[in-house]
Amino acid sequence: MSKNRSTHLRGERGQAFADLIRGVPSEQLLCVSLDISKYFHVAMIHNGLGEIVTPTFEVDIYQSGFDQLCRAIEHAKTRTQAQVVLVGMEPTSHYFENLARHLLMCQQSVKLINSFAVKQNREQQLMRREKTDQIDVAAIGDLLRRGEGTPYKPPTGIYLQLQQLDRVRLGKVKIERMLKNQIIGHLDRIFPGLVLLDAAAKQRYPPLFTTDFWQCQTLQDLIRVCLNPHDLVRMSPQQLVQAFHAQQRRLGPATAAKIIAQAHKTLLPDPEWAAIRCELLQHDLALLETVQNHLTTLEQRLVALVAQTPYQVWTKLKGLSAVQVASLAAAIGDPANYTDAAQIFRRSGLVSGRNDSGNRQRKGQGNHVIKAGDVYLRRALMSAMATLILHQPVLRRYDQKLQTTKPAPVARVATARKTNGILWAVLRDQSSNTLICCKGAEM
């Protein structure tokens, strides 16, 4: 147990807050709580006793709204002779970032209040079924005056570029996945049975190709050259080979015969239906190619940027791709903002749910991971853990042992914590040779 944890009920964060307000009368502790939304924000100003100094008011997202908020803060400071001013807000999507950055430039201390904590605070105040902007801003203020929240430290320089590029990349990955699903939908209508994704279906009906559709070059070429089974049943293998060669694509007579045989045994769809779907398929294929080209460009930029940071050492670890490292670096930010691995893990919000009391000690069994934290960091860390387990025997044995003794959510969180600790040690020591969780083991 750390010194700070042993000297304060809420550990290091609680001790820092105690040091900040030590000797300051509660009436002279000013809390500015903000409920953030897309087009306007709701603000309330109160003192450390919870007494309202300035009732709730709205500010818009323009310069006029920011000036109005600053004037309200200055007026409240003058009225209360405040010695300490705290500004708190939920990190709502990206809507909070512009306002928070401007407040920092005005020398205002900004704290981010976890959204899950705000929800829990409303429930503690017997407002489980109530949610309005006024209640939310009061819940934020209550947490703020108790010292909750983490200081807002916006990324700059390389880490700002990494963050924004990776967020756009993640959005493009979602679009790519959506387009691929839509393309499979087209294929199911145009050429039923050509693509079998379900394992049980593959066992029951022999697929045309055993290779996964998105890795099978022949299928990729087929849907671009001649997918309509109405056309295929009228072609000979040699004609299909010539159609492929005309577009500079490879195809042999034996494979062409297999494709045509598959078309002959297919229950053919309505010709008009197949025709319009073939047209729509080509549009989606073109769009998918554009998205994938953009993804490639983004990934190249991310890899080039991460090479200029201390995170470059992670690319030497077996099981982590350069893009995964860039995504982790984007989510974590400047390592100089942290002193230990625990600070990073707390930000991820990975906590296994517990509901134990008295003789009911289930130790997390049947409860989900709470996920009260930074979603980008959590996803990047879980993705890194999933691939490291496959390539790092020590981490894999650790996970397997936990799976036999603990519920799945608890084991998953514990393995993620171990992964986070290992990655931090590698980053801190700038050495990828030593694995600290097992003596003598190597990454």
C-alpha 312/C-alpha 333 separation (Å) is 13
* 441: pLDDT strictly greater than 70: no
Min mean pLDDT across 44-53, 263-272, 344-353, 409-418 is at 344-353
Q: What is the pLDDT of residues 204-227, one digit of tens each?
A: 888 888 888 999 999 999 999 988
The count of residues in the chain is 443
Q: What is the pLDDT of residue 1?
A: 38
Sheet containing 40-47: order of strands: 52-60, 40-47, 29-36, 84-89, 110-112, 150-151
Residue 323's contacts (CB-CB under 8 Å, 6 or more residues apart) are 299, 302, 303
Q: How confident is the model at residue 254 (pLDDT cuts 50, 70, 90)?
A: very high
CA distances 156 to 44, 162, 196, Å, are 29, 10, 47
CATH superfamily of 3-151: YqgF/RNase H-like domain (3.30.420.140)
C-alpha 32/C-alpha 17 separation (Å) is 16
Q: What is the pLDDT of residue 150?
A: 85
Give the mean model confidence (pLDDT) for residues 390-415: 88
C-alpha 208/C-alpha 93 separation (Å) is 45
Do residues 27 and 49 lie in contact, with contact meaning Cβ atoms separated by under 8 Å?
yes
CA-based nearest residue to 427, from 299, 349, 320, 275: 320
Domain map (residue ranges) of the chain: 3-151, 163-300, 310-429
Q: Reduced to 3 states, what is the DSSP secondary structure of residue 247?
A: coil
Residue type, position 366, single letter:
G
* 124: pLDDT strictly greater than 80: no
pLDDT higher at 381 or 15 = 381
Q: What is the pLDDT of residues 66-87, one digit of tens each?
A: 999 999 999 999 999 999 999 9
In the numeric block, the tokens 């993620």 are attached to: 416
* 187: pLDDT strictly greater than 50: yes
Q: How confident is the model at residue 104 (pLDDT cuts 50, 70, 90)?
A: very high
The angle, 0 to 180 degrees and rounded to 10, between the axes of the packed helices 408-429 and 375-391 is 90
Residue type, position 91, single letter:
P
pLDDT higher at 297 or 149 = 297
Q: What is the pLDDT of residue 93?
A: 83
* 301: pLDDT strictly greater than 90: yes
